[in-house]
Structure 1
Amino acid sequence: MVKFFRHIRQRLLTENKINKYLLYAIGEIILVVIGILIALWINNLNTIKQQKEVEKIYLLSLKGEFEQNYDLLNGTIKNNEQLINHLESLSMLFDKNVYDTITETSVNKYLFNAISPTVEFNPSMGVLTEIISSGNLKNIENFELRQYLASFGNSIEKLKQHQTDGAKFYDKAVEHYLKDGNLKKTIRIMGREVKGNSKFESINNKNLFNSVEFENHIFLYTRISKTKSALHYLPLKNDIEKIIQIIESELKN
Structure 2
Amino acid sequence: MINFFRKIRQNLLSEGKTGKPALSAGRYLKYAIGEIILVVIGILIALQINNWNEEQKKEIKKQDYYVQLLDDLNSDIISTEYTIEEFSRHQKEYSDYLSLYDHEGLTPATAYEQISRLSLISTPPIFNTNTIESLQSSGDIGLIPSLIRNKLMNLRSIQNLTIQRFDATDNGQRGITQKLSSLLGATTLPKRLDNQPKMKEFLHIDENLRELILVYEGIHRWKNVSQLETIDRLETMQKEIDTIIDLISKEIKE
Could you tell me the TM-score, scaled by structure 2's length?
A: 0.77
- Per the TM alignment, residue 180 of structure 1 is displaced from its structure 2 partner at its CA by 4.0
Match of 2:180 among 171, 174, 177: 177
- Per the TM alignment, residue 60 of structure 1 is displaced from its structure 2 partner at its CA by 1.0
Q: Which 5+ residue runs of structure 2 have no aligned equivalent?
A: 1-5
Residue 127 of structure 1: aligned partner: 131
User: 1: distance between equivalents of 2:195 and 2:48?
Assistant: 79
Structure 2 matches for 1:202-213, cutoff 5 A?
203=206, 207-208=210-211, 211=214
| Number of residues of Structure 1 aligned to a counterpart in Structure 2 | 241
- Per the TM alignment, residue 204 of structure 1 is displaced from its structure 2 partner at its CA by 6.6
Percent identity reads 19
Root-mean-square deviation over aligned CA pairs: 3.4
- Per the TM alignment, residue 215 of structure 1 is displaced from its structure 2 partner at its CA by 3.8
Q: Is the CA contact 1:88–1:222 (under 8 Å) kept in the aligned structure 2?
A: no
SS of alignment partner, residue 252 of structure 2: helix
Higher Cα Rg, which structure: 2
Residue 73 of structure 1: aligned partner: 80
Q: Pick closer, same or farther for the CA change 1:69–1:149 going to 2, 3 Å.
A: same
- Per the TM alignment, residue 72 of structure 1 is displaced from its structure 2 partner at its CA by 0.5
Residue 117 of structure 2: aligned partner: 112
Match of 2:148 among 131, 145, 148: 145
Could you tell me the TM-score, scaled by structure 1's length?
A: 0.78
SS of alignment partner, residue 60 of structure 1: helix
User: 2: distance between equivalents of 1:181 and 1:98?
Assistant: 28
Q: Is it true that 1:87 corresponds to 2:89 in the alignment?
A: no
Letter in 1 for 2:63: K
Q: Is the CA contact 2:180–2:212 (under 8 Å) kept in the aligned structure 1?
A: no
Residue 8 of structure 1: aligned partner: 13
Match of 2:39 among 13, 32, 39: 32
User: 1: distance between equivalents of 2:196 and 2:133?
Assistant: 50
Letter in 1 for 2:118: N
SS of alignment partner, residue 113 of structure 1: coil
Match of 1:219 among 214, 218, 221: 221
- Per the TM alignment, residue 252 of structure 1 is displaced from its structure 2 partner at its CA by 3.7
Q: Is the CA contact 1:86–1:113 (under 8 Å) kept in the aligned structure 2?
A: yes
Letter in 2 for 1:243: I
